[in-house]
């Protein structure tokens, strides 16, 4: 199986290596563009109305993955108090299906609307056809990204946060990892950033420093393999996302259900250069460079 180069600050490995080092060759792309979210941590994609119950969640999951591919930290399962909520309604339209999207901020206010579509049928979506789901999710992510677009080259504001020390970070406990992944990945990333000469602050300092937020997503087993995606987001104290580093691989089914061991170290060592690149870019923006 061949390796694919990703455009979002990381080399995305798709089953190119055996354990225990499935992510060790990830490398950030220099000066890759960054898409930010407007003053929020994540986008929570709700089940899509207008479809059968299982298909609603399937399309939400596919859309969240497509948003992540656009460097937007999104999930169909995990949100927080700062999350934007993405609501969609699917319906037949001509020879295809369209989805009317509404983006809701934490206060319940609609902050934007968009429409996406693809030449697929409602029946194919309800059957869980992977190609149909991907086609509609990909178009949806493009439409939604336009709602979230921000100019990363714009000067940073001179108000609160302008005196932020960009060499101090807090590593937030990783979510979504099976086995001891939460503890192992959090500890491994902490060590990797310290080796990169960053100061890693205790958790109680979140809100005063940049935060590194790790999320793990593992698909259902297929043919004895599971697809694993790990997203590391760099957030400002106000929750605004500065960028993400993504890693992907296929691993043997259940191989991460226990101790992660050296896998956690390989993941962190591969992702840390990308996080440093995001920090350097943020410092340049702040200084107007």
Q: Which domains does the chain have, with CATH numbers?
A: 4-36+154-287 (3.40.50), 43-148 (3.30.160)
Most confident range (mean pLDDT) of 19-23, 25-29, 129-133, 198-202 is 129-133
pLDDT over 70 (residue 168): yes
What is the average pLDDT across 224-250? Answer: 87
Q: What is the mean pLDDT of residues 235-246?
A: 84
pLDDT, tens only, 80-110: 667 788 999 999 888 889 999 998 888 788 8
Residue 199 scores a pLDDT above 80: yes
Q: How far is CA 54 from CA 131, 132, 273, in A?
A: 16, 15, 39
Could you tell me which of 166, 182, 163 has the C-alpha nearest to residue 242? 166
Tokens for 127, please give them: 């059957």
Query: Residue 72: pLDDT above 70?
Result: yes
3 state DSSP class of 136: helix
According to DSSP, the β-strands at 43-45 and 84-93 are parallel
Residue among 88, 84, 83, 86 at smallest CA distance from 100: 88
pLDDT-based confidence at 39, cuts 50/70/90?
very low
CA distance linking residue 103 with residue 37, whole number of Å? 12
Name the nearest CA neighbour of 103 among 115, 92, 90, 94. Answer: 115
* Buried residues in 123-150 as b, exposed as e (16+ CB within 10 A): ebbbeebeebbebbbbbbbeebbebbee
**Residue 111 or residue 18, greater confidence:** 111
Name residues whose C-beta falls within 8 Å of residue 235's C-beta, 6 or more positions apart in sequence: 41, 210, 211, 212, 213, 241, 242
- Look at residue 288 in the predicted model and tell me its pLDDT: 64
In whole angstroms, give the CA distance from residue 208 to residue 37. Answer: 19
Tokens found for residue 160 = 């609160």
Q: Is the pLDDT of residue 26 over 90?
A: no
Q: Which residues pair with 104 in a beta bridge?
A: 85, 110
Q: What is the pLDDT of residue 33?
A: 32
CA dist 15 and 51 (Å) reads 33
> Residue 203: which pLDDT band, with cuts at 50, 70 and 90?
confident
As a whole number, the mean pLDDT across the chain is 77
| In the chain, beta strands by DSSP E | 4-5, 11-12, 43-45, 74-75, 84-93, 96-104, 110-118, 168-175, 199-201, 210-218, 225-235, 241-252
């Amino acid at each position: 199986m061949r390796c694919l180069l990703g455009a979002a600050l990381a080399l995305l490995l798709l089953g190119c290596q055996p354990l225990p080092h499935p992510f060790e060759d990830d490398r950030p792309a220099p000066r890759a563009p960054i898409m930010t979210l407007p003053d929020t941590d994540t986008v929570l994609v709700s089940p899509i109305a207008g479809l059968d119950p299982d298909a609603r969640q399937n399309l939400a999951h596919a859309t969240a993955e497509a948003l992540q591919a656009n460097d937007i930290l999104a999930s169909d399962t995990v949100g927080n108090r700062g999350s934007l909520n993405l609501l969609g309604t699917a319906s037949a339209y001509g020879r295809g299906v369209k989805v009317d999207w509404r983006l809701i901020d934490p206060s319940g206010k609609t902050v934007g609307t968009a429409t996406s579509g693809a030449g697929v049928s409602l029946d194919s979506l309800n059957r869980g056809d992977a190609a149909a789901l991907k086609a509609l999710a990909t178009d949806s992510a493009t439409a939604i990204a336009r709602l979230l677009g921000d100019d990363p080259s714009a000067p940073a504001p001179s108000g609160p946060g302008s005196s932020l020390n960009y060499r101090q970070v807090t590593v937030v406990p990783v979510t979504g990892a099976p086995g001891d992944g939460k503890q192992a990945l959090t500890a491994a990333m902490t060590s990797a950033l310290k080796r990169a000469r960053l100061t890693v602050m205790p958790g109680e300092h979140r809100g005063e420093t940049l935060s590194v937020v790790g999320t793990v997503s593992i698909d259902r087993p297929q043919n004895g393999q599971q697809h694993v995606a790990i997203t590391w987001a760099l957030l400002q104290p106000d929750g605004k996302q500065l960028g993400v580093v993504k890693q992907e691989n296929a691993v043997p089914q259940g191989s991460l259900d226990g101790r992660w061991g050296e896998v956690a170290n390989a993941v962190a060592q591969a992702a840390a250069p990308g996080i440093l690149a995001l920090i350097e870019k943020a410092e340049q923006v702040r200084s107007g460079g």
